[in-house]
Structures are given as structure tokens and as C-alpha cells.
Structure 1
Amino acid sequence: MIESGGRQFWLATLALCIGSFMTFANVYITQPLLPMIADAFDLTVLEANGSFTITTLMLGLSLLIYGPLSDAVGRKSIMLISLVGATVCTLLLTQVESYSALVALRAAQGFFLGGLPAVAIAYMGDEFSPKALLFAVGLYIGGNSLGGIGGRLIGGFVGEAFSWRSAFVAMTIVSVLCLIVFALMLPNSRGFTRKPLCPRQMLADLGGHLRNPILLTCYLIGGLNFFIFINQYSYIIFVLEDAPFNLSAQYLGLLFLTYLAGTVGSSLSGKIVLKVPQPLCIALGVAILMSGTLLTLAQTLPTIIVGLLINSFGFFLAHSSASSLVNRSARGAKASASSLYLVFYYLGASSGGFYLHPFWSAMGWDGVVLGSMLVLTGVLGAAIWLYRQECEPVGEPDVCV
């Protein structure tokens, strides 16, 4: 087993962080470009957002395939093949001439991009010691947030300076470089035990995970958190693009630097859970996300930025803790357990915009905040329920350890 701090630990962790950066940079590159895409193809806000949500939808669905497949084929090969496919799609996106072609390629890209997130945590679970796993998962999810920042900055700055197509050219170059480094750095699997590919067993594993109340609650928490968090950005972009803010695409891209707070949150999660139970870390993250959301109601640029910083920290603290709890709680078939968490996670991302849109249409940003708080209150309650399930009575029924 790989212990934290050694050469193999850092090679594997940094390779997965780079692969994660590449994956999520490609997912989120269109978000600051949404107003440009809407203008170029004469689309509504909801229609333009389809170029983003179709990617997260296909990514989520693909996880049902990649996770179980990696249990039979192997971890590294699945990650490499999927990253190559995603890079080819990014290159093809530079040539699209219609919105339907853009959406079709973004759908295919989303399918390929699911390979690494479906397998990465399972790879770490195979190779790393339990203590090293907690630390590595936090760093890996930090790579997710850095990828989200990087993709949006590329989209915003390159799109503003040249065109939205040029943003995909730049992303292709970045993807090729990340792919090469990932392939060279990631150690081959040593702790992996191959399982025969059996569709019936795959379905049985997935069914078993869904019947586990702890796992199912983690899945719902991850999905509903992302359901709100990521789609808040999609609507705040249109708030800030309009009067009185009138921000251009490059400044909208800079807005996503608030994800750096998420990098800190996810990196700290591995240390926090050594002292605080994971369900309480999830609850803390959700409470922080709720407080940041309320702060944005002040509707000044500084308070919106601070609110999004708080949101990002809280969201990634909760997400890191929940995904780690899934790996710890799964009874076998850990790759499919982690994949199922991410299925809920990305289905939440792809559907949250539809939920928030009526609130946006009726009340603008105030409506988005109201819709967010309704869902997050339920998520907070679910995290507290998880904590109660981990409590063991000692003497008195209300005393827990």
C-alpha cells in the first residue's frame, strides 16, 4: 500500500490531480461563454445553458459504465482511453458551425470525460493506505476545483480576446499537455484485483449500493448539493453581465477564481475528518454553503464575490467528506459505489438549472436564492441524520461517540 508523503504517493496524487484538472477544465469551459453562445445562436438563457448541462448529464450517465468496467479491465487503462477521447472531442469543437453540432459534441465529450472521475477514487482506494487515502482524496478534489477555475478562465479570456471557438483551440492544447503528463506520471496498479465482467453482478452491485441507507443518503447529498451550487453560477453570470454590473466575458471568467476557496476546503477536509466525524463535516459544509448563498442577496459585486467564496469553501468541504464516506462505507465493488455517487452528483448538476429556472423567471436572483435554500435545508437535515446513524449509545441513549 502507498503511504502518504513518499515518492509514489506524490506521483500518483499529482497525476490524478492533473487528470482531474484536464477533465473539469473541459467540462466548465463553456460556462463563461454562455452569453456569447446565446448571442451567436440566438438562444434563451435556458437553451444556452444546454451546452453545459448536456456535458454533465452524459458524464453522469457514463459513470454507470466506467466504474464497473474498471473493476474488470483495470483502472489506469480506462482513465487513459477516456481522456484521449475527450481530447479528440475538444479538437472537433473548434470546427462546429451550428448549435446542434456543438451540443452533440459536448454530449460525446461528456461521455468520455466520465472515465477519470469514475475510477480515480477507486484507484486510490486500491493503492493507498486508509490514512493516505483521506489526504489524497482532498487533494484530488482540489484538482477538480482548479480544473473548474482553469477552464472558465480559458473560456473567459480567450473567448473575449478572440472567439468562443478559439477558447476550444486553447483547451485542446492544454488537454494534450495534461494527457501526456498524466500517462507518464501515474504508477501502474499494484493493489487492483481484476473481477470478471458480469453485467448481472454489475446490476447486483449497484442495487446493493442503493439499498444501503448510508450510501443512498450520501448520493442524495452529493447530487442535491451540486444541483444547487453549480447552477447558481450559471444564473449569476447573467446577473453580472447585465446592468448595473455590465461585466465582460473575461471578468465573468475571473469570477470563478472563487473556486480557489473550494480548493482550500477540499484540501483541508482530509485533516478535519481526522478530528470531526465525516457526517458533521458534511453538515458544516452545507451550513457554510447556505450562509454564502444568503450573503449574495446584498446584490453588490463585493458581497456577491465574498458569498461565492464562502459557497465554494462549504460545497467542496461537504463534497470531499461525502465522497470519502462513500468509499469507506461501501461493502465491496468500491469503484461502482464511487461511480454511483458521481452519477447522482452530475445528474444533479444537469437538472438543477431546470429546477431553478422558474424561480429565476418569477423573482430573478432572489428567486434563485429562495429555491436554493429550500433544497439545502433538506440536505442539511440528511447530513445530521447520517451523523445520528454513526452514533452509538453509551450508557444513556442520547450519548454518542
Structure 2
Amino acid sequence: MSYIQQGTKIYRRTSFSFFAAGFNTFAILYCAQPLMLEFTKEFNISPTTASLSLSITTIALAISMLIFGSLSEVWGRKPVMVYSMLVASGLCVLTAFSPNFHILLVFRTLVGITLAGLPSVAMAYLGEEIEPKSLGSAMGLYISGNAIGAVAGRVISGTLSDFFGWHIAIAGIGIISLVATLIFWYSLPPSQNFSSRKLEIGKLGKSLIDHLKDPGLVCLYGMGFLLLGSNVALFNYIGYVLTAKPYSLSQTIVSWIFIILIIGMFSSVLTGKLVDRHGKQKILILNLIITLIG
């Protein structure tokens, strides 16, 4: 097998392309979060109902990831990721033209389904193509793209909505994501170590059940659920508090609160390097301790 080695031009291209991919995915996913207050006002709905604009996308993405991972075994890694990003970006633009909240939820559900093609395949591609000793750093750069995308999606959409309304805000994120898709398409090298397989639904079901029987994996699933769930819940509703009295902040100022998540860009790269040096378990435990202290 021919692996991509750290320090080479192709490694930099691959890392940059996945940075763009992570940006694309999380900008589209989280662009609705700072707009929930606007949805509440325009569609006369409760904050809980408005939060469905993010929750339903996340649920659709989570379920669809189980399917896209298997489809990539048949169709190939890069094609699944590229078409996923391209369709999701197009749907994001169409979401801006939603005449009511029900149609908006339909588009956001479709966005979640199509977005799943990137995160479900990205780690598999990196694991197959990057040399093992550099894998942690490569994944760290991909995750840093996720962090930047999550921040930029929220800040840009929140700021645009304050000046031009939520329609322009979502359309703007969709256009930016289309550009990120083209960068990914052009920069990512085709798979060299991938071998196509037949799609076997039976094996997929058995594999999922086997994963749930592994206590270590169940613990990781639980940590992901609790950590990300608490993070998203906090930021879903903090805008309602900060735009009301006694804070009375503008939507633009509130959207910039998400900049705190930029720390994830640096910590993910650092964590990847530490994993390469000290192993996964030690660094995972260290990060959990830091989280609990916070």
C-alpha cells in the first residue's frame, strides 16, 4: 500500500481539502442555530419548536451516516463525499426560499440526510490513505475545519440575519459551502488504497449490533451524545436570554459569542499530535478531566 506521508505536497492538499470539507459540513449544519429567534418571530412558534431547525437536521444526519458509510464501500470514498457536499450546499440555498416553517423543516431534513455522506466517510478515507503515524494530525486538521465551520456558520448567518434577514443568511452560507465543495473536489486526491465491495445489508445490520455489544464503543457513543448534546442545548437557547432584558444585546453581538468555539480549531490539532505521541486513552481521559473542571 502507498500511504500519504506528512510533510509532502499531497499531504498538505489532502489536509486542506478535509479542512474545507469540515467547514462545509458544520457551517451548513449549525447556520440555523443563531436564527432560531428569527424563526420564533416570523413563524409565531415557540423556542422549542424553532430548535427543530437544528435538531431534525442532526437526527437525520446521525441516522443517514449509518447508510452512507456502507454506500461508500460500493461507490468509492471521494464520489460519495463530493456529491454529498454538493447536494447539501444546493439544498441549503433552497432552504432560504422556504415560505413557511414546515417547508423549512423538510429542507433541513434533506440537508441532514445528504450531509451524512461526508462525516461518515471522511475518517475511513483518512484511515486508508494517511500513514498511521500521521493519522492523528490529519484528523486533527479535519476536526479543526469542523470547529471553524461551526463558528463561521453561526457568526456569518447571525450577522447577515441582523442586517438582511434569515433568508439572505442561509443563502449566504449555502453559497460559501458551494465554494468549499469545489475546493474539496479539486484538492482531494483519488483513493489509492480503496477496494470496492458489494453492498450487503445483512452484514451492515450485524455490524451495528456487534458495535453495541462492545462496552468501549458504547462508552464513546455515550460521551459523544452527552458532550455534544449539552453544548448544542446551551447555544440553542442562549440567544433568547441575551437578546432579552437585562442584556438586550443585538443579534450580531449574540452571534459573535460562538467565537468561543474557535478554541476547538487549536485544541483539535494539538490533541491529534498528543494522541500520536501518548496514545488515545491517556489523552481522552485528560480531555474529559479538563471538560469536567470547566
TM bucket normalised to smaller: over 0.9
Distance, in Å, in 2 between the alignment partners of 1:121 and 1:277 is 18
Once the 2 structures are TM-superposed, how far is the Cα of residue 138 of structure 1 from its aligned partner? Answer: 0.8
Structure 1 residue aligned with 2:166: 164
Deviation string, structure 1 residues 13-64 (Cα, Å, up to 9, x no partner): 1111101101110001111111111111111111111111111111111101
Structure 2 residue aligned with 1:248: 250
Once the 2 structures are TM-superposed, how far is the Cα of residue 275 of structure 1 from its aligned partner? Answer: 4.1
- Please point out which of 103, 106, 109 is paired with 1:107: 109
Matched, 1:18 2:20: yes
Q: 1:288 to 1:243 in 2, by over 3 A?
A: farther
Once the 2 structures are TM-superposed, how far is the Cα of residue 255 of structure 1 from its aligned partner? Answer: 0.7
Structure 2 residue aligned with 1:225: 227
Supply the AA of the counterpart residue of 1:178: A
Distance, in Å, in 2 between the alignment partners of 1:275 and 1:22 is 30
Q: Structure 2 length as normaliser, TM-score?
A: 0.95
Cα contact 2:18–2:141 (8 A) shared by 1: no
Structure 2 residue aligned with 1:290: 292
- Please point out which of 125, 128, 149 is paired with 1:126: 128
Cα contact 2:94–2:171 (8 A) shared by 1: no
Q: Which runs of structure 2 are paired with 1:139-178 in the superposition (5 Å)?
A: 139-178=141-180
- Please point out which of 184, 187, 190 is paired with 1:182: 184
Structure 1 residue aligned with 2:100: 98
Deviation string, structure 1 residues 147-187 (Cα, Å, up to 9, x no partner): 00110011111100100001022112202211111111010
Supply the AA of the counterpart residue of 1:273: V
Structure exhibiting the larger radius of gyration computed from Cα positions: 1
Supply the AA of the counterpart residue of 2:180: C
Supply the AA of the counterpart residue of 1:193: S
Distance, in Å, in 2 between the alignment partners of 1:69 and 1:160 is 40
Q: Structure 1 length as normaliser, TM-score?
A: 0.71
Structure 1 residue aligned with 2:281: 279
Give 5+ residue unaligned stretches, structure 2: none
Deviation string, structure 1 residues 335-378 (Cα, Å, up to 9, x no partner): xxxxxxxxxxxxxxxxxxxxxxxxxxxxxxxxxxxxxxxxxxxx
Q: Which runs of structure 2 are paired with 1:2-401 in the superposition (5 Å)?
A: 2-292=4-294
Distance, in Å, in 1 between the alignment partners of 2:45 and 2:111 is 22
* Percent identity for Structure 1 against Structure 2: 32
Cα contact 2:137–2:276 (8 A) shared by 1: no
Please give the root-mean-square deviation of Cα atoms over the aligned residues, in Å. Answer: 1.3
Supply the AA of the counterpart residue of 1:245: Y
Deviation string, structure 1 residues 70-125 (Cα, Å, up to 9, x no partner): 12221001011111210221121121110101111101111111110110011000
Give 5+ residue unaligned stretches, structure 1: 293-401
